[in-house]
Structure 1
Amino acid sequence: MPSPLRVALVGGGSIAEHAHLPAIRDLAGEAEAVAVVDVTTEAAQAFAARWDLPYAGDDLDAMLAEVGPDLVVIASPPSLHSAQAVAALKAGAWVWCEKPPCLSLAEYDAMTAAESEGGPYAAIVFQQRFGPSARYVRERIASGALGTPYVAHCQTTWFRDDAYYAVPWRGRWETEGGGPAMGHGIHQLDLLLDLFGEWREVRAMAARLARDVRTDDVTTALVRFESGALATVVNSVLSPREVSHLRLDLSGATLELTHLYGYTAENWTYTPAPGAQEITWPPPDDRPSSHLLQLRALLADLREGRRPDAGGQDARRTLELITALYKSALTGETVRAGEIGPGDPFYTSMHGGLSDRL
């Protein structure tokens, strides 16, 4: 592999400007941004000028052919993710795709079908699971040091006003895929699954209460895990006091993570159960969760030709849970893991043709 690895960006918006490019620059010597593709050549050239990138254009296929990047970062609107990821993978580039990964399980499966054994692979931007303190908690849960998982609460209660949804692709099933479960709560949901493991079934409700959107603006759900543990989930864009909160109750301890968009070890609270064997606390690594840490791990996987964390079936289960959440909310039924596949209307659309029930 070349050194540094050559990285191209698709989409020159805020997330690329404030998260992806700084992370790439922090890994100078390991990665180098060499190209940007945006909706117009003018927009791409303006972005390239700010970051001193040698290539700018509005044609993804042309960029892939001319530049031949090792990694393509997809930071475009969600409706474009799947097709752009497939194009990059078929051109031989690895992919790092912003959330939500795509609009449906069908689109996600099309992405993974374009992968090859040993790479290229696609990974989803689920940076919260890469926080060292969360990794520390995950290892302690997996080892049994914290006992049996019992109960969890996963809360993403944020505030987005009508001006936020004035951007044409937001709040529309056909361009964003869903409401706050897809565009906001997906990070906390992914972290919950990363810590508590496989889910078994979900019962949910969704509503459009206040915002001028076609999707929902709030969802709630009950989730049962394969371990038998139960969880409550709340996703909202109507909450003036914003918080991201995860609470895990196990037989040996309660762990709580309270933050907004990122965390360090200081954002966790550890309460051992009476008489339980205690773990070392706080976690020894206090670095914040970040795009940087996930990108560093992804580059290592790329060089070794191994499937990255937050890719393949590992990331699919998060999207499957959200799909099942919407199916349950719109049908009133309990939905079980593995039941949504080809032939199910929810396989190709988050609303399954039932969006009028909101």
Structure 2
Amino acid sequence: MAQGKRLRVAVVGAGAIADSHRVAYQARRDDVDLVAVADVDEGRALAFCAATEHAKPYRDLDSLLAEQEPDLVSICTPPGLHVEQTKRVLECGAWVWCEKPPCRSLAEYDEMTSAELEGGPYVSFVYQQRSGSGVAHFRELRAKGELGRPLVAHCQTTWYRDAGYYAVPWRGRWATEGGGPAMGHGIHQMDLLLHLLTDDADGDGEVSGDGEWAEVQAMTARLVHDVETEDVSTSLVRFGSGALATVVNSVLSPDEVSRIRIDCERATVELAHLYGHRAENWRYTPAPHVAGIPTEPAEDVGSSHAAALGPVLDAYRTRRRPPCSGADGRRVLEFVAALYKAAFTGRIVRRGEIGPGDPFYRDMAGVSVG
């Protein structure tokens, strides 16, 4: 494809999250042309198209792919549909930008990525909390040694969801959502925590053993909601470096917050926000023996779908693997699987132990979702 040609992009699933994709694409009008949306609900598809310049509505993905031949497709449907739809798009030669959670299991993730080809098409997943100048600034300070070795971390996604939220049929069920708040809500903050603590300079997903999480212990509970999955989870994590972390995911918390705190040798770094962060949400506290740390990034770019889209488009143009794909995109899903396995079995689960033949490889509850 010519370097300057606008990419033809489309969206599958016109629910609420699709608007974030639409806004991201419209912010990059010089790079992309939003040409279509597919949704089984004609009214939703028409409403989505009304907010665009000329996107065309479709009732099914196959018709959209055949007529529009897009270069990139956003998948914004429930997670139980991601595998089939992703594979269909990849088979047609288009790249995929897929919403979280990527799918319902490690087995499904591996099935999706097995449909990729070297040089593309690839599937990348939307972990937009990694984006923004605050994250880049933290990783730059770590790389320069300004913060020292990470020692203790806390990762908190404590949100509130009422019974009406779970009235949507696919939510709160293992077979359709793949898990509770650890899977559908906290996965963003957990991915960000793992991203902040790794030393993956080039974003290819390959990090040192010290930077990876090593083992996890966990508990889950269903305390309020009438659902199959948990509505709260807690876990203890040890990293290869020896650093320890606590992780809490909840949909029972009236005072909602998303928070990551990392105590390093030279400073404590805390990020507190709800659904997105800017520079003002980051706080750096130097250790008593440290004179000071450059706490302000050169620019203030917030985390968002629009910020996360840029690297995906850059990867498409250069025919290289995008961030949040392959091993990089799989890391947090393996962590979630380990969290559930630790909670269900009551024992420590180590990174790399969940593979084909392990019941938690096929689904997060350790039973068939058939």
In which range does the TM-score fall when normalised by the shorter chain? Answer: over 0.9
Residue aligning to 2:73: 72
1:9 maps to which residue?
11
Unaligned residue ranges in structure 1 (runs of 5+): none
What letter matches 2:240 in structure 1? Answer: E
Aligned match of 1:321: 335
Contact map agreement 1:330 1:354 (CA 8 A) in 2: no
Q: How large is the RMSD of aligned CA atoms in angstroms?
A: 1.4
Cα displacement (A) at 1:43: 3.7
> Is the 2:15–2:44 contact (alpha carbons within 8 Å) kept by the matching residues of 1?
no
1:96-125 deviation per Cα after TM superposition (whole angstroms, max 9, x unaligned)? 000001000000001111111111111110
1:312 to 320, 326, 333: 326
When structure 1 is superposed on structure 2, of 318-327 and 278-287 the one drifting more is 278-287
Task: Find the counterpart in structure 2 of residue 339 from structure 1.
Answer: 353
Structure 1 CA distance for aligned equivalents of residues 140 and 352 of structure 2: 26
Q: Distance in 2 between matches of 1:50 and 1:170?
A: 27
Give distance in 1, aligned partners of 2:110 and 2:216.
Answer: 22
CA offset at residue 286 of structure 1?
A: 1.2
In the alignment, what sits opposite 1:258?
272
User: Pairwise mapping of residues 217-236 of structure 1 onto structure 2 (< 5 A)?
Assistant: 217-236=231-250
Look up the equivalent residue of 1:167 and give its one-letter code.
V
* Runs of 4+ more than 4 Å apart: none
TM-score of the pair, normalised by structure 1: 0.96
1:277 Cα shift?
A: 5.5
The one-letter amino acid of 2:103's match is: C
Does the 8 A contact of 1:36 with 1:53 survive in 2?
no
* Partner residue in 2 for 1:82: 83
- Residues 172-222 of structure 1 show CA distances to partners (whole Å, capped at 9, x for unaligned) of 111110000111100100000001121100000000000121100000000
Please say if 1:296 is aligned against 2:271: no
Matched residue of 1:330: which SS? helix
Match of 1:209 in 2: 223
Counterpart CA distance in 2 for 1:247 and 1:5 is 39
C-alpha distance in 2, partners of 1:143/1:336?
30
CA shift for structure 1 position 52: 4.1
- Assess if the C-alpha contact under 8 Å between 1:119 and 1:305 holds in 2: yes
Aligned to 1:268: 282
Percent identity, aligned pairs only, is 59
- Distance in 1 separating the partners of 2:84 and 2:54: 24
CA contact (8 A) 2:105 2:178 kept: yes
Shift, 1:297, TM fit: 1.4
* Residues 354 and 232 (structure 1), Cα distance of their counterparts in 2 relative to 1, 3 Å cut: farther
Looking at structure 2, the residues matched to 185 and 141 of structure 1 have their Cα atoms a distance apart, in angstroms, of 24
Q: How does 1:121-200 map to 2 (within 5 A)?
A: 121-197=122-198, 198-200=212-214
Which residue does 1:48 correspond to in 2? 49
Instruction: For 1:151 and 1:192, locate their aligned partners in 2 and report how far apart those are by CA, in whole Å.
Output: 12
Q: Could you tell me whether the CA contact under 8 Å between 2:362 and 2:368 is conserved in 1? A: no
CA contact 1:222–1:230 (8 Å) conserved in 2: yes
Query: If each structure's helix is expressed as a fraction of its own residues, which one has the higher value?
Result: 1
* Distance change in 2, residues 1:354/1:4 (3 Å): closer
Instruction: Give yes or no for the alignment of 1:352 onto 2:366.
Output: yes
Distance 1:79 1:30 in 2: 31
How far apart, CA to CA, are the structure 2 residues paired with 1:231 and 1:281?
23
Cα distance between partner residues in 2 of 1:58 and 1:229: 49
**Contact 2:9/2:72 (8 A) holds in 1:** yes
Q: TM-score, normalised by structure 2?
A: 0.93
CA distance in 2, matches of 1:287, 1:46: 29
8 A contact 1:219–1:235 mirrored in 2: yes
Aligned residues: 354
Quote the offset at 1:61 in angstroms: 1.9
* 8 Å CA contact retained: 2:238, 2:245: yes
